C-alpha cells in the first residue's frame, strides 16, 4: 500500500477540489490509502458526498489552516504542531505516510517541510522540481523557486536530485542533464555555472548523461531530460511559460470568434484544437516536488482543479512506488565518494530561513 497524507485545507478551493481528486485517484490506484488533515466542518460535508472514499481514507481534524497569504514565519509560529499542513508533513516524518500533498502556501509548505523533515545529509538547500511539457514529451526542470542564487556545488546537487526524479517518473536509467545558461559555449555564463559544468563532466556518473549547457528555448524543445538552474531564473522561466500559454490561448479564442467563417473553421478543426488544449493544459503537469528532503512532499498549484490536484497525487505516488529517495541517496553517496574534497556550503539555519 502507498499511503499519502493530504492537506485538505490548502489552495484556492480547499476540500471542494481536494476530496473529489482523492476519489479520482483511488479509482485508478487500488493500492493507495489517504490520511486527510483539515477542519471537520469543511471536510466532512465533502466526504459525505463520496462514501466509497471512507473505505480507503482516514480523516483527522485540525484546528488551524495555513492561509495562502501567511508569511512562512507566521505559518511556523502559529501552525507548527497543529495545522493541517504541518500534520500532513509530520505524517511523512513519523512514517505513517509515504508522501505529502498540499496545494497550500508555497513558502509556508517549504518552511514546514525543511523544519520537520530536514534536508538530506549532503544537501545544503532543497529545490522545487517541476514537470515541463516539451515537444518530445516532458522534462524535469529545477529549481523553480526554492533557492535564489546557487553556487556550483548546489547546482551539482540539483542535477543529482533531478536525475533521481527523472529516473523515477520517466523510467529512464541514464537521463540527459543540461545546465541552463546564456549560451551553449563553455566560455559563456556565470562562473558558478561553468564550474558546475566542469564538476559534472569530471564526475562522469553512471546514472546521468551530462549534455552540457542549454539555452531557454531548449526547455520547450525537450533537448534534455533534466534542466538545472537556480531558483530565480527557474521561477521566471516557469511563470513566463505559464503566461505564454494563456496568451496563446487568448489569441486563439479571439481569432475563432472574429468571423462566421472562423467559427465554422473551428468546428471542422475541433479535434486538432482539443489535442492542442490538452498539450497546453498546465494542470496535466501539476505538482512541484520538494527535492533534497528526508521525505517526499509535492506542492500542487493553488488554483488547480480536481484533475490537477489528482495529477499531483499521482506524481507523489509514482515517486514512492519507484523509490525516489533511495535512488537520490545512492547517487549522492556515489558522487561524494568520488569527490571527497568537494566543498559544500554551510547549511543555513532553517528557522532563520523561515524568518526571511
SS (H, E, C) 83-98: EHHHHHHHHHHHCCCC
Angle 77-6-233 (CA atoms, 0-180°, nearest 5)?
70
Q: What is the pLDDT of residue 283?
A: 57
Query: Would you give the distance in Å from CA 41 to the centre of its chain?
Result: 29
Instruction: Tell me, rounded to whole angstroms, the distance of Cα 125 from its chain centroid.
Output: 15
Grade residue 223 by pLDDT with cuts at 50, 70 and 90.
very high
Give the pLDDT confidence of 303-343 residue by residue, as tens digits. Answer: 888 999 999 999 999 999 999 999 898 888 888 777 766 64
The CATH T-level fold of domain 121-229+256-291+322-355 is Isopropylmalate Dehydrogenase (3.40.718)
- How confident is the model over 254-281, as a mean pLDDT? 72
* Helix (H), strand (E) at residue 228: strand 226-228
Q: What is the pLDDT of residue 69?
A: 86
Q: 295 is written with which cell numbers?
A: 521525505
Across 270-281, average pLDDT = 67
Instruction: Collect all residues with Cβ–Cβ distance below 8 Å to 312 and sequence separation of at least 6.
Output: 101, 103, 286, 287, 298, 299, 300, 301, 304
| Section 275-291 average pLDDT | 72
pLDDT-derived band of residue 284, with 50, 70 and 90 as boundaries? low
What was the pLDDT predicted at 342?
60
At residue 230, the pLDDT reads 92
Give the up-direction half-sphere exposure of residue 102: CA atoms within 13 A in the CB hemisphere: 32
Listed by start position, the domains of the chain span 1-117+292-319, 121-229+256-291+322-355
Helix H or strand E segment including 121: none
Grid coordinates of 26: 483511488
22 near 105, Cβ under 8 Å?
A: no
| pLDDT tens column, 121-137 | 888 889 999 998 888 88
Give the pLDDT of residue 344.
46
pTM of the entire predicted model: 0.85
Name the CATH superfamily, with its identifier, for domain 1-117+292-319: Isopropylmalate Dehydrogenase (3.40.718.10)
Same CATH fold, 121-229+256-291+322-355 and 1-117+292-319? yes
> Is the model more confident about 42 or about 245?
42
Amino acid at each position: 500500500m502507498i499511503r499519502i497524507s493530504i492537506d485538505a485545507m490548502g489552495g484556492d478551493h480547499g476540500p471542494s477540489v481536494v476530496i473529489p481528486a482523492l476519489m479520482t485517484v483511488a479509482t485508478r490506484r487500488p493500492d493507495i490509502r489517504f490520511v486527510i488533515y483539515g477542519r471537520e466542518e469543511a471536510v466532512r460535508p465533502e466526504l459525505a458526498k463520496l462514501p466509497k472514499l471512507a473505505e480507503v481514507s482516514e480523516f483527522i481534524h485540525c484546528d488551524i489552516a495555513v492561509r495562502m497569504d501567511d508569511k512562512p514565519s507566521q505559518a511556523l509560529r502559529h501552525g507548527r504542531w497543529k495545522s493541517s499542513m504541518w500534520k500532513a508533513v509530520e505524517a511523512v516524518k513519523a512514517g505513517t505516510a509515504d508522501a505529502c500533498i498540499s496545494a497550500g502556501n508555497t513558502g509556508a509548505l517549504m518552511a514546514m517541510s525543511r523544519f520537520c523533515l530536514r534536508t538530506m545529509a549532503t544537501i545544503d538547500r532543497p529545490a522545487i522540481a517541476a514537470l515541463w511539457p516539451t515537444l518530445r514529451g516532458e522534462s524535469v526542470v529545477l529549481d523553480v523557486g526554492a533557492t535564489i542564487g546557487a553556487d556550483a556545488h548546489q547546482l551539482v546537487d540539483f542535477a543529482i536530485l533531478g536525475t533521481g526524479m527523472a529516473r523515477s517518473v520517466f523510467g529512464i536509467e541514464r537521463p540527459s542533464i543540461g545546465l541552463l545558461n546564456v549560451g551553449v559555449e563553455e566560455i559563456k555564463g556565470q562562473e558558478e555555472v561553468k564550474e558546475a559544468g566542469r564538476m559534472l563532466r569530471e564526475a562522469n556518473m553512471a546514472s546521468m548523461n551530462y549534455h552540457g549547457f542549454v539555452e531557454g528555448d531548449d526547455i520547450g524543445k525537450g533537448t534534455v531530460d533534466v534542466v538545472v538552474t537556480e531558483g530565480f531564473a527557474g521561477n521566471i522561466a516557469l511563470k513566463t511559460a505559464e503566461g505564454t500559454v494563456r496568451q496563446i490561448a487568448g489569441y486563439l479564442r479571439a481569432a475563432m470568434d472574429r468571423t462566421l467563417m472562423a467559427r465554422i473553421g473551428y468546428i471542422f478543426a475541433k479535434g486538432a484544437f482539443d489535442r492542442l488544449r490538452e498539450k497546453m493544459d498546465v494542470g496535466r503537469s501539476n505538482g512541484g516536488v520538494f527535492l533534497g528532503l528526508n521525505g517526499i512532499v509535492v506542492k500542487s498549484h493553488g488554483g488547480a482543479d480536481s484533475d490537477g490536484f489528482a495529477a499531483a497525487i499521482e506524481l507523489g505516488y509514482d515517486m514512492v512506488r519507484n523509490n525516489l529517495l533511495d535512488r537520490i541517496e545512492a547517487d549522492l553517496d556515489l558522487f561524494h565518494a568520488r569527490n571527497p574534497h568537494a566543498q559544500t556550503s554551510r547549511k543555513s539555519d532553517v528557522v532563520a530561513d523561515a524568518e526571511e
